[in-house]
Structure 1
Amino acid sequence: MPVMMPTAQTFPDPEGALAGAQFADRYVLTTDGLALTAIGAAERVLGRTPRWVGWLMLLRNLAVRPFGLKTGLERDVLPEGRVGIFPLISQAPGRIVLGLDDRHLDFRLLVEVNDLGAGRQEVAASTIVKTHNLLGRTYLAVVKPFHRIIVPAMLAQVLIK
């Protein structure tokens, strides 16, 4: 089977994932023979960051620090309560919800795994955002173009063994 790259889809119910959400997107790819759980897929997505994404995150953290925004790995969340740098909010069969609430915006990252049969699975990463103020709306506008490149690249990490 040829390697499939993530494709963009419309997220069906942003309000159901985060009340008041103003932004949502979803990227999906199909795997073959991996037998992933949602937590396993999330660990593959967030556990192996491409170097260029790491550099962008470092720049982001430096840029937002003067505004007092969270930069990940907050001390109030224990390592077992997170995947990558994101706190675990909930977990169910086939779905894990990660996220963070901050003064400028709240966001959720949903990683879902659906069995398609014959050893194939659909793995989806969805981002849902609710902004709180001008800083949140500005932040979202600035990061959106990068987000649209980073999320598919991170989701593609699922296929790397």
Structure 2
Amino acid sequence: MKVCEIKPETDTDTLLPGAQFVDAFRLETAGPALDARHAAQRMIARQPRWAEALLTLRNILVTPFGLKTSGASKTAPREMIGIFPVLSATPDRLVAGFNDTHLDFRIVVDVAASGATTQNVTLTTLVLTHNRLGRTYLAIILPFHRLIAPTLLRQVAGA
């Protein structure tokens, strides 16, 4: 199963108005039909060890700057997939993410039939930076994001 980078096909103004960064990766998968929630769970709930190690390192490095290390809310409980709060969900689309002082981000998982026995699963990432720290953070993590996003998407087919 090959993951391809594609031109994002989401309405960024609805999902994250003003987003300065948007990318999307797509995987065509065969097998039992998945809804967006199950596809997201396969991607996010079980990250590869190297990706978990990077996340742990990220959390250690950003703590002194007061940045969030988890999407968990201390005030209102939210449904979570991995570390990400679910913002909305339908059978065809799940939107997760959170807002922070340096940037806001969304991940969008879309599922659509692509044939009689195949589906396209698309992972779109949107980021809106608020300040220099956000822009610097985004520049630093982008190379890692470009490795992690396709790896997570491949897990949809592997589960």
TM-score, normalised on structure 1?
0.93
Structure 2 Cα separation of the partners of residues 114 and 62 of structure 1: 38
Tell me what 1:106 maps to.
104
Structure 2 Cα separation of the partners of residues 135 and 110 of structure 1: 24
Matched residue of 2:114: which SS? strand
| Structure 2: runs of 5 or more not aligned | none
How do residues 6-155 of structure 1 correspond to structure 2 at under 5 angstroms?
6-12=3-9, 13-76=11-74, 78=77, 81-155=79-153
Aligned-residue identity in percent = 47
Q: CA deviation at 1:132?
A: 0.4
Cα deviation code 1:27-81 (max 9, x no counterpart): 0000101310000000000011101001110111011000010111524353x61
Q: CA deviation at 1:117?
A: 2.8
Matched residue of 1:62: which SS? helix
Is the 2:71–2:97 contact (alpha carbons within 8 Å) kept by the matching residues of 1? no
Is the 2:71–2:98 contact (alpha carbons within 8 Å) kept by the matching residues of 1? no
Cα gap change, 1:137/1:73 in structure 2, threshold over 3 Å: closer, same or farther? closer
Structure 1 Cα separation of the partners of residues 114 and 32 of structure 2: 12
Aligned residues: 157
Matched residue of 1:53: which SS? helix
11-20 or 148-157: which moved more?
11-20
Matched residue of 1:28: which SS? strand
| Structure 1: runs of 5 or more not aligned | none
- Whether 1:5 aligns to 2:16 is no
Amino acid at match of 1:123: V
Matched residue of 2:112: which SS? strand
Structure 1 Cα separation of the partners of residues 62 and 126 of structure 2: 20
Amino acid at match of 2:3: P
